[in-house]
Structure 1
Amino acid sequence: MVTGIIIFDFDGTITTVDTINTLASLPTSHHPSEKTKRHEKLWEEIVEGYVADHTEHTKGYAPDAESRRTLEQELGYLESLRVPEGASIQKVSQGSLFAGLKEEDFRGFGERIVDDGTGDHAQGGERVRLRKGFGEFVEKCGKQGWEIGVVSVNWSRDFIKGVIAKKCAGQEVRVVANGIRHPEGRIEGPEELGGEVMMTAGDKLRGMELLSREGDEKKKVVYFGDSTTDLACLVEAELGVVVADEEEGKLLVTSRRIGFGVPHVGEYREAKDGKRQGMVWARDFEEVMESRVVEGLQR
């Protein structure tokens, strides 16, 4: 019997940091040396353009951050980021950064690049590190009857599948994220969501709703996320777990600003009226397991 579904964000939640720069390094290992500099220059231009567009957009957005005091206001701002995000994705697609790469290339790269703590690595260079306790947590939840899913605005669901493959071996994991179309290298959204590229908090919420429904039935959801693009999902889930290295992390600060108290998972408790706290935070999955917060939802 399925208890419900546990859904993870990928970058900064399953992994310790964002992996976009690592993913962007894949083309240089698949192209002749004379093309390497062109790809590196293109990526540099894309990053610089994105930072400039994002900064300009945020500077001109009203109300500004300090004036946004409600969830509705914050989600409105997050949805407006579709403008700079979309411009960046268009540049990646038009620049053919990932042209010629197949699904198996992204998956294999993810498998090789991950640092799972065993020291068994086949490829040098930058590593993608998994957050402490992830594999053990997934295994434990699977045995307890939970389904497992991933919702991400990362550009390659196959890269995600490769990164988590070893730690999720034996556990079916449904990934709702973007893909990179072969051979042109165009970024496209998941078929389940009509092919629209996932970019915003609202897109992630649609992904969560897709995974949490089975016919007319809605599954119980535990959602893990680390960034403001996870805000809508964290609020809507039965339990939202903010993953943060410290109490002053950006998402926790934002949550408090708009009126959400988010205690540490070690302080999790049931309220007097029987309702459980909607959001908590944890540094890693070991802290979550120690708290037994997920087991509490099975009662």
Structure 2
Amino acid sequence: MAARPPLDPSQPTHWILDWDGTITRRDSLDALVSIAASSKPNSPVLEEWKRVSEAYMSDYIAAMEKLAPGGKLPRTVQDEKKLLQALASVEQASLDRVSESQIFAGLTRKLLDEGAKSLIDSKKVEMRNGFAQFLKLRQSRGHDGLDLLSVNWSRHFISSCLRAAGAPVEKGAINANELGGIERDLVSNGKISPEEDAEMLIISSGDKLEHMARLRKPACESRNSSLDSSRPIVYIGDSWTDIECLLEADLGICIRDEPLGSSQRKLAERLQSLGIHCPHLHDWKKADERQVVWARNFTEIQAWMEAQQARKV
């Protein structure tokens, strides 16, 4: 792979951010399910959620035993992509189970809005340190672009959480799936589908990469992005599902806690197995040609940007 040109963070940049575990401190799917459970107290929502979760794990373990027997995982990026592509069928099967379970049937925008506010107020969904300030500064720069790219099941839920946290993002900049009916302000049928104006679900690493490629297109070709392809992309993510976007971006930033969460550890292990050096963001110039680094939160990312800009003055 040819080395990328140096990234200048003081220049117009297109930021693409994962949601669960990246903007939020923890995965929010359980929180989304809790809204459904609260809205239907006499329905077996939590039992159904446990059933589909256990079925997913069973499928995933079986698939990994078949695709990587003895835990022998890929050592090249090309083989890594093939493995992730093969695992997409596990994600699709799980999505089908969730839709068929009717866990989310009966939800409305109002219920999602109220549920999201309650979750934010109780800190069951919590934004990562520095995100609100990072977002405000990106929006104030004007020439920067920002998109969210998530495998989460409800774009409206993400939007509601951000509003409740005082960090609103234009809904058109949130690229995620949606519960059937919510886009049209109807009672949800419980099925998970693409956004109303999108062509495909976002359920896998490959899906995220394809959507990132679309966001990189010039404004005249891209549905959501306001930036042309000359703007460098910085992608921020935390899990294995983000690895292809992290590797393809002009700069990939892995979010890491101390100690590492399970998803963060999996991503760190895969990068190491692929021979990809991943220094801390402040040592970003020591990264290899893949340009992947790590940071603890958005406070660190903002401090790094300010340091780079100060050096240019």
Provide the TM-score with structure 1 as the length reference: 0.85
The answer to whether the aligner puts 1:130 opposite 2:127 as a matched pair is: yes
The structure 1 segments of at least 4 consecutive aligned residues displaced by more than 3 Å after TM superposition are: 62-67, 169-173, 293-296
**1:25/1:212 CA distance change after superposition, 3 Å:** same
Q: Does 2:143 align with 1:143?
A: no
Structure 2 Cα separation of the partners of residues 231 and 34 of structure 1: 40
Q: Which amino acid aligns with 2:295?
A: A
- Mind listing any 5+ residue stretches in structure 1 that lack a counterpart? 115-120
For this pair of structures, how many residues does the alignment match?
281
Task: Check if 1:265 corresponds to 2:277.
Answer: no
Structure 2: tracts of 5 or more residues without a match: 1-10, 182-187, 222-227
Quote the offset at 1:270 in angstroms: 7.3
Aligned partner of 1:117 in structure 2 is none
Residue pair 1:262, 1:281 contacting (<8 A) in 2 also = yes
**What is the distance in 2 between the residues matched to 1:22 and 1:41?**
15
Whole-angstrom distance in 1 between the partners of 2:259 and 2:98 = 34
The sequence identity of aligned pairs, in percent, is 29
Alpha-carbon distance in structure 2 between the residues aligned to 1:191 and 1:170: 18
Paired residues for 1:52-91 under 5 Å:
52-62=58-68, 65-91=71-97
Q: Which residue of 2 aligns with 1:118?
A: none
Report the CA distance between 1:143 and its aligned residue.
2.2
- Alignment partner of 1:128: what SS? coil
State how 1:272-283 maps to structure 2 within 5 Å. Answer: 278-283=291-296
**8 A Cα contact 2:20 2:28, kept in partner:** yes
Aligned to 1:226: 238
Quick one: which amino acid aligns to residue 181 of structure 1?
G
Match of 2:194 among 189, 194, 197: 189
Distance 1:172 1:193, change over 3 A: closer
Alpha carbons of structure 1 residues 134 and 89: separation in structure 2 relative to 1, 3 Å: same
Structure 1 residue 169, shift from structure 2 partner: 3.7
User: What is the distance in 2 between the residues matched to 1:255 and 1:170?
Assistant: 30
Equivalent residue number for residue 240 of structure 1: 252
Once residues 209 and 84 of structure 2 are traced to their aligned partners in structure 1, the CA distance between those partners, rounded to angstroms, is: 12
Counterpart secondary structure, 2:285: coil
- Displacement of 1:68: 0.9
CA–CA separation in structure 1 for the residues paired with 2:156 and 2:171: 14
Give the secondary structure class of the aligned counterpart of 2:42. Answer: helix
Q: CA 1:270/1:260 → structure 2, altered by over 3 Å: closer, same or farther?
A: closer
Is the CA contact (8 Å cut-off) linking 2:159 and 2:174 kept in structure 1? yes
The alignment yields a C-alpha RMSD, in angstroms, of 2.6
Decide whether the 8 Å contact of 2:159 with 2:171 is kept in 1. no
Which SS does the other structure have where 2:173 is aligned?
strand
Deviation at 1:232, TM superposition (A): 1.0
Q: Which of the residues 288, 293, 297 maps onto 2:301?
A: 288
Q: Structure 2 vs 1, CA of residues 170 and 223 (structure 1 numbering), >3 Å: closer, same or farther?
A: closer
Match of 2:210 in 1: 206
CA contact (8 A) 1:106 1:156 kept: no
Secondary structure of 1:199 counterpart: coil
CA contact (8 A) 1:265 1:293 kept: no
| 8 Å contact from structure 2 (residues 276, 290) kept in 1 | no
Q: Does 1:156 align with 2:158?
A: no
CA distance in 2, matches of 1:79, 1:168: 34
Tell me how far apart the structure 2 counterparts of residues 43 and 68 of structure 1 sit (CA, whole Å): 32
Correspondence for 2:116: 110
Structure 1 SS opposite 2:203: coil
Please state how far the C-alpha of 1:210 moved relative to its aligned partner.
Answer: 2.3
Deviates more, 1:172-181 or 1:12-21: 172-181
Match of 1:50 in 2: 56
Shift of 1:207: 1.8
Cα distance between partner residues in 2 of 1:295 and 1:276: 20
2:42 to 34, 37, 52: 34
Contact 1:268 1:293 in 2 (8 A): no
C-alpha separation between the residues in 1 aligned to 2:103 and 2:73?
A: 39
1: CA distance, partners of 2:85 / 2:203: 9
- Indicate the SS of the match to 1:242: strand
What is the aligned partner in structure 2 of residue 180 from structure 1? 179
CA distance in 2: counterparts of 1:247 and 1:41, whole angstroms: 31
1:251 aligned onto 2:263: no
